[in-house]
Chain A
Amino acid sequence: MRLKFGVVVFPGSNCDHDSYNVLKHILDQETVYLWHKDTDLQNCDVIILPGGFSYGDYIRTGAVAKLSQIMNSVIDFANKGGIVFGICNGFQILTESGLLPGTLIKNKNLKFVCKDVYVTAVNGDSILTKSLAKKTLMTPIAHGDGNYFTDEETLKSIEKNNQILFKYSSDKGEISETCNPNGSIENIAGLMNKNGNVFGMMPHPERSSDVLLGKTDGLQIFNSLLQNFIN
């Protein structure tokens, strides 16, 4: 069985082609681009909100993208249980639109951080991470606003509901402040909504899924999604 993926293209998206390439050419899935002015999700099984700088990230990252026409359809789709996966800017758009809790603020050290980091899948119960429980993966990050923040009450609730998917860690899976590249609370690199159908992460699995690029750990995340969606 093949799934149908829709990669949303906002003005300023710059990881849309990477995502499309991995899904279509490496994983051999039916994949279409969805323009931000579209309203039809074309019966896609999974919607990808890719990385980039949608609408120049003016006001706040993702703040204008959340108001684009396609997002009304994406929010409806998510509320009905559809799978939505936001990567980097896509994660920021998901928090802005209220589909994921918390927000992403400027990196603690004020720098735009662009490097390979390690994340550990701390949750083996989601379809995105079921095949990866406790695994440590090398994935690139490239962001200026990746510092995950939420108030204490929300943090308690996402911990209680087992919504945290990935934490920044060492290559051996040790989670500590020294492995935290941006100041994220509790080293959070990715999480999901309470219902387990909306996912967001700052690292870029689509940039580490091609042997030609010398790194393939990201592919394991897409493969987990494929395997567990079908099951």
Chain B
Amino acid sequence: MYQAKVIIKRKKSILDPQGKAAEHGAVLLGFKNITNVRIDKQVEFLVNVSDLETANQEVSEFCVKLLSNPTMEDFEINLEKINEA
């Protein structure tokens, strides 16, 4: 079994209004060194297969078909093997 953590990132070329709002908040708080705030999504789930290749393939497909929209987002997959008791 694998623990999957997928990060869905808005493409760099696309304005991230939520990130901009957070950045504005940082300015209001007096932070002078915080810039380029981007707000991404992280999705966590388990993948009930025994080999990494199949896990990767299935998670990629899930990302392409539902979790991300290729027009505006990229995704990053992290898989960690879980030892079943």
Contacts and interface: CB of A to CB of B under 8 A. Distances in A.
B12 to A, nearest CB: 12
Contacts, number: 32
Q: Is the interface of A mostly helix, strand, loop or mixed?
A: loop
Interface in B11-26: 13-15, 17-18, 21
Contacts of A110: 17-18, 21
B72 interface: yes
B22 to A, nearest CB: 11
Interface residues of B, number: 11
Q: Is the interface of B mostly helix, strand, loop or mixed?
A: loop
Given A107-B17, A110-B18, A110-B21, A102 B71 contact: yes
Give the interface residue-count category, chain A.
20 to 34
Nearest to B41: A59
Interface in B59-85: 66-67, 69, 71-72
B71 A106 contact: no
Interface of B: 13-15, 17-18, 21, 66-67, 69, 71-72
